[in-house]
């Protein structure tokens, strides 16, 4: 589910991993004359602004040499954040039991926006159960966007 129209994943992933980070996700937005490449990195100890800056400098240099993007582009490096987008079936499997928001490209039981608990995840589909008890089997290829939907109370405690 990585958005990689320029085929940069094999270029950037070894650099990110070699620097000690995990590649969490990749998004590319293409406009008529420009592109925006957004890369999400993660680390077990969290991500700082300095981490993003270091990765940005390294990836900028590598992408300048490899030159896979034919348009002028903006490179953005970011932490996935607490309500992180889920980019792969593996990330969804690790999020089983968590609250999620899932947007689909086509309706599932007449809905395109499903909010609930991720009950089950496989390589080809996920199951989300809503607060009302409705169960949705969503094929992976139908998922346009999926992200964690964690609540934060005023005392800065995260509730799943």
DSSP labels, 7-66 = --HHHHHHHHHHTT-EEEEEEEEE-SS-EEEEEEEE-TT---HHHHHHHHHHHHHHHHHH
Classify residue 83: in a domain, yes or no: no
Is 144 found in the same domain as 114?
yes
Q: Is the pLDDT confidence value at 117 over 90? A: yes
In the chain, % of residues over pLDDT 70: 94
- Predicted confidence (pLDDT) per residue in 72-96, tens digit: 999 999 999 999 999 999 999 999 9
- Model confidence at 1, in pLDDT bands (50, 70, 90)? low
Give the per-residue pLDDT at 159: 61
Q: Is the pLDDT confidence value at 120 over 70? A: yes
58: left (phi over 0), alpha (psi -120 to 50) or beta: alpha
Q: Is the pLDDT confidence value at 47 over 90? A: yes
Which structural domain, as residue segments, surrounds residue 32? 9-78
Give the per-residue pLDDT at 39: 97
Q: What is the mean pLDDT of the chain?
A: 93
Give the per-residue pLDDT at 154: 64
Is 149 found in the same domain as 93?
yes
Q: CB-hemisphere CA count at 13 Å for 9?
A: 12
Give the closest residue to 1 by CA, choosing from 93, 89, 76: 89
Classify residue 84: in a domain, yes or no: no
Please, which residues have CB within 8 angstroms of residue 48's CB and are 6 or more apart in sequence? none
- Model confidence at 139, in pLDDT bands (50, 70, 90)? very high
Task: Taking residues 51-62, report their average pLDDT.
Answer: 98
| End residue of a domain, out of 78, 101, 119 | 78
Secondary structure of residue 92 in the 3-state scheme: helix
Q: Is the pLDDT confidence value at 153 over 70? A: no
Give the per-residue pLDDT at 75: 97
Give the per-residue pLDDT at 46: 95
Classify residue 105: in a domain, yes or no: yes
CATH number at residue 154: 2.30.30.180
């Amino acid at each position: 589910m990585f958005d990689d129209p320029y085929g940069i994943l094999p270029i950037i992933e070894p650099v990110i991993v070699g620097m000690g980070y995990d590649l969490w996700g990749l998004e590319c937005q293409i406009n008529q004359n420009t592109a925006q490449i957004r890369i999400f990195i993660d680390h077990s100890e969290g991500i700082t602004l300095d981490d993003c800056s270091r990765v940005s400098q390294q990836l900028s240099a590598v992408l300048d040499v490899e030159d896979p993007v034919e348009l002028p582009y903006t490179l953005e490096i970011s932490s996935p954040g607490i309500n992180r987008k889920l980019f792969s079936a593996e990330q969804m499997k690790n999020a089983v039991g968590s609250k999620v928001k899932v947007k689909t490209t086509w309706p599932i039981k007449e809905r395109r926006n499903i909010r609930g608990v991720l009950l089950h995840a496989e390589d080809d589909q996920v199951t989300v159960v809503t607060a009302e008890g409705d169960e949705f089997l969503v094929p992976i290829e139908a998922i346009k966007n999926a992200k964690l939907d964690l609540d934060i109370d005023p005392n800065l405690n995260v509730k799943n």
